Amino acid sequence: MESMQIKTASKQYPVLIGKQAINELPDFITHELNQLNKILIITDEKVAELHLQTVKKALIKTGKPVLHYVVPEGEHAKTFEVFYECQSYCLSQQLNRKSLIIALGGGAVGDLAGFVAATFMRGIPFIQVPTTLLAHDSAVGGKVAINHPLGKNMIGAFHQPEAVIYDLEFLQTLPLQELRSGFAEVIKHSLIADKEFYRWLKSNIVDLNNITDEQFLTMITKGIGIKASIVEEDEKEMGIRAFLNFGHTLGHAVEGSMGYGNFTHGESILIGMVYALKLSGREQGLDFKLDEFINWVSSLGYQTTIPLQLEKETLLNLMKTDKKSINEGATFVLLKQLGSPLLMDIADSVLIEEMIEMK
């Protein structure tokens, strides 16, 4: 079992990572949140089938009433309608400021449940219980949100969890596409912060179907550690936290254009990372073996080109609505070298030219 503390300006909380980590949840609640009157688990349809009873069984030890509410799977959960339904359920079950929400699922459930917790009665506590590899990124740092048709995660808040309980056994049920989606964020962390970690990933992860428990523990612990160090310095994304959006400017545009849920977050971000690496070579002279990178990720099943049906002008306009952009242009996270990111405004003509190269 690995344990670390996340320290931000607003809160300090633990992250526990390991097999059967879920067994630590009731003791944490009993010792740290003993004034609770009710616990609500928000989860999605698929995760409910796989893991809901395991978590409810563990929570019996708290002696608190445990409710659950099931939402649609994936990005389909992050809508105004589902958010409203969750709030209505909280009210109907008479939750209050002494109630706790547990986000059981992947990044989408974590974002939704966290935003419900952030806004119900102006904020109640919640705990992240991730069930996907992708959620190693989203479960830490307190960014919670829902989507708008004009942009991903545009309606949200900063609301730190009380704890993150990461049971590696839950990852055993993940389909390959979800592993691929999550591993893209692991790659991102290595590129922006740790070239040795990148080399380790490239040497050790050659088949996403055969990742060992030890490899999962290494990559998740390392990835969360990288994110934690950035979040601790910049909780509200006023500076360096924007570096965590490497690959996301084009990636979010691709994901939104393909229709949320039709193209996974991580697969979209991987395309965005290839694009950002190309821009980094062009604008910052990044010395990086891009061909080797593309060969490696392609062997893991990733698409590395922009889907042919997407229009350049549509993607360009979406990139300009990205939260990093302050002016009317598009702002990108680029790399001067591995582990050394920076923000840079890129001219439309350059963006279009590189998109043509990526088709």
Output the DSSP codes for 60-100.
GGGTS-EEEEEE-SGGGGSSHHHHHHHHHHHHHTT--TTEE
Please indicate if the annotation marks 152 as binding a ligand: yes
Residue 185 annotated as binding?
yes
Contact 319, 330 (CB under 8 A): yes
Angle at 304 between CA 299 and CA 306, to 5 degrees: 155
**Residues 93 and 67: beta-carbon distance below 8 Å:** yes
Residue 290 labeled ligand binder: no
Beta strand pairing status for 143-148 and 151-158?
A: antiparallel
Stated length of the chain: 359
CA angle 242, 245, 246 (to 5 degrees): 115
Residues 6+ apart with CB under 8 A from 43: 51, 52, 68, 69, 70, 71, 103, 104, 105, 109
143 annotated among ligand-binding-site residues? yes
Q: Is 109 annotated as a binding residue?
A: yes
Tell me if 131 is assigned to a ligand binding site.
Answer: yes
189 has binding-site annotation? no
193 is in an annotated binding site: no
142 is known to lie in a ligand binding site: no
Residue entry with tokens 């302050």? 326
| 3 state DSSP class of 347 | coil
Residue 66 known to bind ligand: no
Which amino acid, one-letter code, is at 249? T
Determine if residue 243 is labeled as part of a ligand binding site: no
Rounded CA separation 308/306 (Å): 6
Question: What's the token pair of residue 184?
Answer: 């893209």
User: 246 a known binding residue?
Assistant: no
| 58 carries a ligand binding annotation | no
308 is in an annotated binding site: no
Query: Is 347 labelled as part of a ligand binding site?
Result: no
**221 annotated to a ligand binding site:** no
Asked if 325 contacts 154 with a C-beta cutoff of 8 angstroms, the reply is: no
Tell me if 110 is assigned to a ligand binding site: yes
- Dist. CA 255–CA 151, nearest whole Å: 10
Q: Is 304 annotated as a binding residue?
A: no
For 135, residues 6+ apart whose C-beta sits below 8 A from its C-beta are: 105, 106, 107, 110, 128, 182
Q: With b meaning 16 or more CB within 10 Å and e meaning fewer, what string describes 142-152?
A: bbbbbbeeeeb
Binding site for Zn(2+): residue ranges? 185, 248, 265
Binding site: residue ranges? 73-78, 107-111, 131-132, 143, 152, 170-173, 185, 248, 265
Binding site for NAD(+): residue ranges? 73-78, 107-111, 131-132, 143, 152, 170-173
